[in-house]
Structure 1
């Protein structure tokens, strides 16, 4: 920094060291934006794959889709890679593309304020330091802040308490009485592993999850060799994997009213449940009463069979409170346990997570308050009027439910195009217009009639997809459309101006 008020510490600060931040850093650097700093709260990179180390953790879509298109591995051990391989992939990519050279770990951002006179952001850290940047890329994701359930007496439990997102490997579950609260994606993976070692496992289920057989298997060395050496093999594997993912969520979720794929998926899931779970009462408890797509369906070959084990109980009575020696349900029964596992997910579209730190834009406008008053919204999920030079990887109406890596690359492409225009015209401020943002929001809402979320079958799903306004801020688009749009959207949706020439007309 040269000491002037208009020169930032870095041209770009990326907040978040998961795959979003790593991918954005790589793509920005490849586009010529090398003056960046990546700031990460944790002591390592990888985001969810750094924090989540619970037993059985792994990717929930085929590995061939869950990787960067510009850095495709062929040596995954399984079709669905275990978490440790995703963590290793994150570290490897960050090292090889020199992201680690621009990274500051153990640094939590707690606030961001825009300086209108200088067109700079000042980021405040948890230690009280400040970092200035011309542009900020929010890459914090949403599966970052564990959600602790609001259950009376939770702090009174005399045993050990674990959250799946912050697993303590020093706690031995062997021969213990374990209770798991929750049956979402993390629980589906962890429960079978816990059941193998626990003396007894009680699973407390509020809402059952749609579960289908998982097309998973080890990838033989010969297949890895073919993928790495035969021209086009990797592309074919990725294309097939992407098609599988598209059919299993984006299409049935967003085009439910046009192509009722969800009904077919429900038949598959019901048949799988019927042939897998032997006890009819337990089977009935595990049967969802909401449409597939209201929540992201799970794929597992181990979850449903776990409930056939003699040491596993499924409890669907609501929890009244937690006591020192166990969980008491509404029917008065005390379920004694030694260890309590909270598989209760994350804050997603909630206050304190969208955004995960205080953001003040033009005229001190508070981003969280703006969204609370005006509904969650962002132009292509990237930019919000009144918050110049601030870009998000996973903003409202960004993610369509496909591969998260597709989201990272499309959003980064959007951001790069904005910054390239700004650099070419010498602009210091990049801001999406209210008109463009309003048009995009109207377009998103106009498609909701075809989404499964609003088809009338999600009322009992207790889905975290719904925000406080009753909206589901997913992007109702096919993956191909998101890719095309990131390359073709009209850059005139933004204004590009100079701090030294604020009264001038927008630069075109």
Structure 2
């Protein structure tokens, strides 16, 4: 085997993605003594989702006290649920404070990653034709990055303005316009009440109603923000926030048959709907017919109330086609539209998204094809057999539904342990064993009987949680378990090989 020395490579570690996953990976690599990294970002700025998503009303959907790094907690959030601009500012703050910016390459789209079996390193091809080499790769692209366009006949013929919520065009003036929003997911829940007051007429096209719960949100006045600077206050607020988040998704979703939290949430949601919507027919259309947790729920104190406005209309008839002047539904109704807003979410388990570039491992095996043949799987959501030195932040069965920041820190604990042993032993190739991966996959599948996703009612939820095989690649574990296992899993679940590797 020909081993390429580190000095012959561009970097020891390449981080693909400049959102919070990439930023967290960079900071934690530096803290662990791995300073030779490059963070590569497709966009012209850092922040990931908070760089791209600037639609009206964009905000975090879990309390801000949880949506931040444990080692860099802010005292200056303006609200319990911070608006998007503050998350973008937080990303900029982190890359500056931890000196990540000088090791960041913006406007660089990775289109391919190929493992060099003789040299034990990765060649990353860019859209500009350049090649970046690195011993190890940390995939930090996330999954909610590639806007998903609806497959509706005639959309290419529409003569008006079209924009996706993830690529909002702020030059478009909605005042006095007839606007249509296709979709009622998380971005629609925030966008609809934010634009309803300025448009002439707003038609919302709903396929499946969303569970909308009251949002325990409020402004944080200056005295509260000052109090957050008192030692221990941020820690307490984070603990309370984390407990709330844990109860509302990880425990409710993964232990549905043990903890009846979802039932309580459904009652809260239905009461919220009854109080918010005046028209009984509209209220009926907005009532979910599937269990809470089957698909991503939302929190809002304004979404449901928007349907009380005279200029807001809820359309539940299926869309037949998009015409040059608007939308025709299956019942023959023509909706004339000036601006078409696609709140249709992102590619998740579709081809070309996990990740959004080709990955070629040992023996020329393509990662996407490997997953097609073997189902989505990865050891603790980090590593896949046959793809050495390639680590994911958000791989299959890595995320348990808690804060993404918990995920980032937990997965980086796992990755850093692998890199430290590789450095200690002189290993140039780090690869999870097929046996360890199979054991983990069997474990997560064995827990699905407890999960809400596999209740009969979820079959009608039209949830992006489900992949083509009917699996839901969430990690069926409470957050404390993910933290425990990432710091204590047996490192012998990996093979550490290379010219100088020792046991």
- TM-score of the aligned structures, taking structure 2 as reference length: 0.98
CA contact (8 A) 2:6 2:135 kept: no
1:107 counterpart residue number: 108
State the 1:507 CA deviation: 3.6
2:68 counterpart residue number: 67
**Partner SS, residue 431 of structure 1:** strand
**1:211 lines up with 2:212 in the alignment:** yes
Superposed, 1:361-440 pairs within 5 Å as 361-440=361-440
4-13 or 42-51: bigger deviation: 4-13
State the 1:114 CA deviation: 0.4
State the 1:297 CA deviation: 1.2
2:26 counterpart residue number: 25
CA contact (8 A) 1:6 1:120 kept: no
State the 1:4 CA deviation: 7.3
Q: Distance in 1 between matches of 2:197 and 2:105?
A: 40
Superposed, 1:444-463 pairs within 5 Å as 444-463=444-463
**Number of residues paired by the alignment?**
500
1:490 counterpart residue number: 490
Kindly tell me: are residues 325 and 438 of structure 1, through their superposed partners in 2, closer, same or farther at Cα, counting changes over 3 Å?
A: same
1:168 counterpart residue number: 169
2:124 counterpart residue number: 123
2:285 counterpart residue number: 285
Q: Distance in 2 between matches of 1:382 and 1:189?
A: 32
Q: Distance in 2 between matches of 1:81 and 1:151?
A: 34
2:269 counterpart residue number: 269
State the 1:194 CA deviation: 1.3
Gaps of 5+ in 2: none
Q: Distance in 1 between matches of 2:486 and 2:497?
A: 22
State the 1:7 CA deviation: 2.3
State the 1:486 CA deviation: 1.0
**Partner SS, residue 229 of structure 2:** helix
Q: Distance in 2 between matches of 1:296 and 1:339?
A: 26
Q: Distance in 1 between matches of 2:453 and 2:419?
A: 35
Q: Distance in 2 between matches of 1:275 and 1:192?
A: 17
Q: Distance in 2 between matches of 1:50 and 1:28?
A: 23
State the 1:414 CA deviation: 0.5
State the 1:5 CA deviation: 9.7
State the 1:40 CA deviation: 0.2
1:315 counterpart residue number: 315
Deviations 1:137-189 (A, max 9, x none): 00000010000000000011110001000000000000000000000000000
State the 1:6 CA deviation: 7.9
2:199 counterpart residue number: 198
* Runs of 4+ more than 4 Å apart: 3-6
Q: Distance in 2 between matches of 1:115 and 1:241?
A: 45
1:324 counterpart residue number: 324
- TM-score of the aligned structures, taking structure 1 as reference length: 0.97
CA contact (8 A) 1:5 1:118 kept: no
1:300 counterpart residue number: 300
Q: Distance in 1 between matches of 2:54 and 2:355?
A: 25
CA contact (8 A) 1:377 1:384 kept: yes
CA contact (8 A) 1:328 1:334 kept: yes
**Partner SS, residue 197 of structure 2:** helix
Q: Distance in 2 between matches of 1:102 and 1:275?
A: 51
Q: Distance in 2 between matches of 1:351 and 1:305?
A: 37
**Partner SS, residue 196 of structure 1:** coil
Superposed, 1:53-64 pairs within 5 Å as 53-64=54-65
Q: Distance in 1 between matches of 2:241 and 2:430?
A: 36
